[in-house]
A = this chain, B = another copy of it.
Amino acid sequence: MFRQLLRLASVALLSLSTTAARYPSFGTLTTNTSAGIMNVVINNTFSTINVIDFHVLADLANLIEELQRNDTDVRVVLFSSANTEYFTSHLDLNFFLPGYQSPLPLFDPENPQRPFPVSILYNITQLPQATIAIVEGRARDFGNELLLAFDMRFALNSPSVQLSQFETSFGFNPAGGSQILAQSLIGRGRAFEYSFSAYNIDAVTAAQIGWVNRAFDTKSELYGYVQALAERIALFPPAGIQATKKGINAVSLIPVDAWIQQARNILEVLAPSPVSQALLKKFVQATNNQTIGPVDLNYGDGNDIVQLL
C-alpha cells in the first residue's frame, strides 16, 4: 500500500503549477528582509505543534528556490518560530501511514530518486547564504534534522528547548540527523546515546557537547548575539560566504547519495513494517493526531515513549 502511495504522489506532481513559485504557498513562513538579512518565522497555522507537514515543506521548497536565485541581496537567513513551545516539532507522521494522500510529491521532481524531505535538508545545506536557527522550543525528528541542516544553531536556556532524534523508538533511523551529529558535532559515542535512546537534550547540555553553538539565559542575550552576528556577516562579500560554505561542507556532510539511500530505506522498508506501523498509529492516536498535549510535549523525557503509552 505504501508503494502505491508513492506512485500516486508521483502522478500528482504533474498537475502542479510551474510558474513563479513551484509549489502552492500556504503561508507557514513569514519573511522579512532588510540590509542583507532575511528573517524567516516558522508558523504553521494548520498545527498547534508546528508540525512539519506538506504545508511547511512546500513553503520551505519555495523559499529555497528564492534564496538560490538571490545570493546577493540576502546574505544571511535567520530562522525562528512563532510557536512558544516548538521550533518545529517533527515530520507529520501521517506521511508514513497508509491512506495518506500527499498533496505534494514524495520525491523531488528535479531528482526523482531523492525523497522530497531529503531534498529540503540537502538544499538548505547548500544555500549560498549563511543560515542561522534561533531556538526557543522543541525540535525532534525531522524538526531537529532541519536545525542541523542550518549552518549554526543558537538556543535559549528554557525548559521548552528539547531536541531529539526519536526515530529509533519507532523502528527506523534518523538518517541525516544522527549522521551530522556523529560526523561533525557531538561525536560517535554521544550520537549513539541520543539516537538510540530518543532522549531529549536541553539547551545547556547541547551547547556543552556541540549540538548547538551556544545557549543563552535570556531572550535578549540570545537575540542580541545572533543579530550582531548576522549584521556582521551581512557586511561580507557573498563570494567569501559561499567559498567558506563549500569548504566546510566538503568535510562535514555525508555524501548526498548515502543520505538518499537511507531515506528511501526508511520510506520503503522500515517505516512500512508492521512493528513501525503499529507504533506510529499508536502515537498519532495518543497525540490526537499530533495536536498539543502532554504526549507530544514530553516525548523523550525518560518516561514518555510510544512503548509506554
Binding site for B on A (CB under 8 A): 130, 151-153, 167-175, 178-180, 182-193, 195-199, 209-210, 212-213, 228-229, 232-233, 235-237, 239-241, 243-248, 250-254, 258, 262, 265-266, 270, 273, 275-276, 279, 302, 305, 307-308
CB pair A172–B250 under 8 Å, yes or no, is no
Residues of B within 8 A of A236 (CB): 168-169, 171, 196, 198, 307
CB pair A247–B189 under 8 Å, yes or no, is no
Excluding A178-B244, A199-B229, 6 further A-B contacts by CB distance (< 8 Å) are A171-B239, A172-B239, A173-B243, A180-B188, A182-B248, A239-B273
CB pair B247–A262 under 8 Å, yes or no, is yes
Q: Provide a sorted-by-A list of 10 A–B residue pairs whose CB atoms are within 8 angstroms.
A: A130-B192, A130-B196, A151-B196, A168-B240, A182-B252, A191-B252, A199-B232, A232-B305, A243-B270, A250-B258
Q: Closest approach, in angstroms, between the C-beta of A285 and any C-beta of chain B?
A: 18
Using A182-B248, A244-B178 as known contacts, say yes or no to A213 and B189 having CB atoms under 8 A apart.
yes
CB pair B182–A233 under 8 Å, yes or no, is no
Residues of B within 8 A of A182 (CB): 184, 248, 251-252
Q: Closest approach, in angstroms, between the C-beta of A276 and any C-beta of chain B?
A: 7
C-alpha spacing A67/B197, complex, angstroms = 20
Task: State the 3 A-B residue pairs at the shortest beta-carbon distance, nearest first.
Answer: A171-B237, A173-B243, A188-B252
- Nearest opposing residue in chain B for A167, CB measure: B240
CB pair B240–A212 under 8 Å, yes or no, is no
- Nearest opposing residue in chain B for A243, CB measure: B173
Q: Closest approach, in angstroms, between the C-beta of A184 and any C-beta of chain B?
A: 4
Using A236-B307, A305-B232, A307-B236 as known contacts, say yes or no to A192 and B248 having CB atoms under 8 A apart.
yes
Q: Closest approach, in angstroms, between the C-beta of A278 and any C-beta of chain B?
A: 10
C-alpha spacing A250/B209, complex, angstroms = 21
C-alpha spacing A168/B247, complex, angstroms = 12
Q: Closest approach, in angstroms, between the C-beta of A189 and any C-beta of chain B?
A: 5
CB pair A152–B192 under 8 Å, yes or no, is yes
CB pair B276–A152 under 8 Å, yes or no, is no
CB pair B212–A189 under 8 Å, yes or no, is yes
Residues of B within 8 A of A191 (CB): 248, 252
CB pair A196–B305 under 8 Å, yes or no, is no
